[in-house]
Structure 1
Amino acid sequence: MTAPSNLTPAAPQEPRFLVLFDFDETIVNENSDDAVLCALPGQQLPDRLKSSFREGHYNEHMQRILAFMAEQGVPQDSIHSVLERIPPTPGLLNLLQYLQSHREDFELVVVSDANMYFIETWLERAGVRQLFRKIFTNPASFDASGRLVLLPFHSHSCSRCPDNMCKQVILREYLAGRQKELGGAPFQRVFYIGDGANDICPSLALGPRDTAFPRRDFSMHRLLLGMQQSQAAKFKANVVPWASGEDIVDCLKKIMKER
């Protein structure tokens, strides 16, 4: 039996919650930039490259490393296979499974200072690429010579962040853009899952109904503890440290029961 022609199908429910993930040591249990060095013949960098790093200019440093790997004749297949073997963070796949089972409620985004080739390679191998609406990261692709060419994501004026990426700028622009696309309705809550020092800046944009999930005993967690103890720090969001993705699932389940 067909529905009467004057009835229109119900509009799909828009997601109520936004979940942002860092990648290195958050989705995966290693730093992908370090892991990929296993593809080098000697599996380590020469001292001249190690000493070329300058604080706040990691993207440029990684560009030099990738150029060196190409000079050493490391093929794309070797880089690809190393990336696919990086293990997920404990409980991470269970978290993604939970979020997939509630896709009508949660919108997922990656915000990472890694690069697009590393992230997409891993997510596709894990079978979870389709869960993420957007990936914000540094562009990277192989050129005709077989070199993986890395570029900065953007330029910004934030003094807290590396010169190639401010995650707070990305978060604020994304929230404003999505609110416009969703007819003026903001997300009810925003959740930020990370581990590193560069995950502090976006967390400062979160409000009192939002939650920052710092990986327990990693830089983000230690810095947030210091901010909470400082009377000068004005951190609005809830802070829920995690050691496993299961910890985050438990927290999200409680929030889902509140509706």
Structure 2
Amino acid sequence: MGDSFFNCCYVPPHPPGEEELHRSRRTEIMASTSTSISSDKRFLIFFDFDETIVDETSDDIVVQAAPGQNLPGWLKDTYQPGRYNEYMQRVLAYLAEQGVTESEIRSIMEKLPATPGMLALFQFLRNRPPQDFEVVLVSDANTFFIESWLRRNGARQLFHRIFTNPATFNKDGRLVMRPFHSHDCPRCPDNMCKQVVVRDYVARRTQERGRPYQRVFYVGDGANDFCPALALGPRDVAFPRRDFPMHRLITETHEAMPGEFKAVTVPWASGEDVVQRLRKLVAE
């Protein structure tokens, strides 16, 4: 992991009394998502979810549960840039008011198509020796959407940790989503900066293991995947989905500020592209 990253992603200290709250919140979620992890893993690989693992955006697809598979204009008009999480909370509340049930939402999530070659990539990771890969998911979706899809596709056990917005159904049958954390990165939405998640996780696991990983990989597609990729070092690999925002931002950075983006960049159109590069790297 490199030490250089844009000022846009600088996260200053929280006001007095708040730092422990934010730290404990992240630690609580980290501790609750999986059992203990072996310390002998050689590589750490992060995945995004929407348009990386699945070929759609889960927040958009859940609208299929609405009457007429569309949201009313007044609800769409409440969206504000940088506050998508709050907007989705209103969408989920509206769906509950329309009588949309937990099973209906789960069914929609389970039917999301995987991106081309992604299931083959998962199979590659499963087939590797147990000391090879520690697999982590970092997403601005939510626990219910992600868990529904992973369990349906037999992929839940592949992931050692999942970092996303907590979401549970309340007694009224409404899916209530809470923000993952707060931060001060102006590039990212208010509820999650993936670079903060990645840096916190790598620092903690390195301390627990007593040594760094041989390499860190990040597989993503969106603009909010560019931010964590900035934290990767020169031995690490960023896998941006070809011609998606993450890929374009990396390309623009290479052109505007050569050397600022440290990681090796391997664009992918299929999970098979990622498999090919990983197969070479693990053999080194």
Smaller-chain TM-score range?
over 0.9
- Residue 254 in structure 1 maps to residue 280 in structure 2: yes
Structure 1 residue 51 displacement after superposition: 1.5
- The 3 A distance-change label for structure 1 pair 233 and 155 is farther
- Residue 145 in structure 1 maps to residue 172 in structure 2: yes
Structure 1 residue 104 displacement after superposition: 2.0
State the superposition RMSD in angstroms. Answer: 1.1
Aligned length: 246
- Counterpart CA distance in 2 for 1:39 and 1:104 is 42
The residue aligned with 1:5 is: none
The residue aligned with 2:54 is: 28
By relative contact order (CA 8 Å, sep 6+), the higher-ranking structure is 2
- Residue 190 in structure 1 maps to residue 188 in structure 2: no
1:152-231 alignment, distance < 5 Å:
152-182=179-209, 184-231=210-257
**What whole-Å deviation, never above 9, does each CA across 1:188-227 have from its counterpart, x for those lacking one?**
1000000000001100100000010000111111111111
- Counterpart CA distance in 2 for 1:59 and 1:231 is 32
Quick check: 2:41–2:134 contact (8 Å CA) kept in 1? Answer: yes
The residue aligned with 1:55 is: 81
- Counterpart CA distance in 1 for 2:259 and 2:99 is 49
Structure 1 residue 233 displacement after superposition: 6.4
Unaligned 5+ runs, structure 2: 1-37
SS class of match (1:146): coil
- Residue 14 in structure 1 maps to residue 15 in structure 2: no
**What whole-Å deviation, never above 9, does each CA across 1:87-111 have from its counterpart, x for those lacking one?**
1010000000000111320000000
Structure 1 residue 43 displacement after superposition: 0.4
- Residue 238 in structure 1 maps to residue 260 in structure 2: no
TM-score normalised according to structure 2 size: 0.85
- Counterpart CA distance in 2 for 1:54 and 1:13 is 42
Unaligned 5+ runs, structure 1: 1-11
**What whole-Å deviation, never above 9, does each CA across 1:21-48 have from its counterpart, x for those lacking one?**
0000000000001111111121011111
**What whole-Å deviation, never above 9, does each CA across 1:60-107 have from its counterpart, x for those lacking one?**
010000000001110111101010000101000000000011132000
Q: Which runs of 4+ in 1 moved over 4 A?
A: none
- Counterpart CA distance in 1 for 2:184 and 2:259 is 21
> Partner letter of residue 44 of structure 1?
N
- Counterpart CA distance in 2 for 1:188 and 1:163 is 32
- The 3 A distance-change label for structure 1 pair 189 and 45 is same
Give the % identical residues: 61
Out of 86, 90, 114, the residue aligned to residue 141 of structure 2 is 114
Structure 1 residue 231 displacement after superposition: 2.7
The residue aligned with 1:6 is: none
Pair member with larger Rg: 1
- The 3 A distance-change label for structure 1 pair 42 and 225 is same
TM-score normalised according to structure 1 size: 0.93
Structure 1 residue 232 displacement after superposition: 6.2
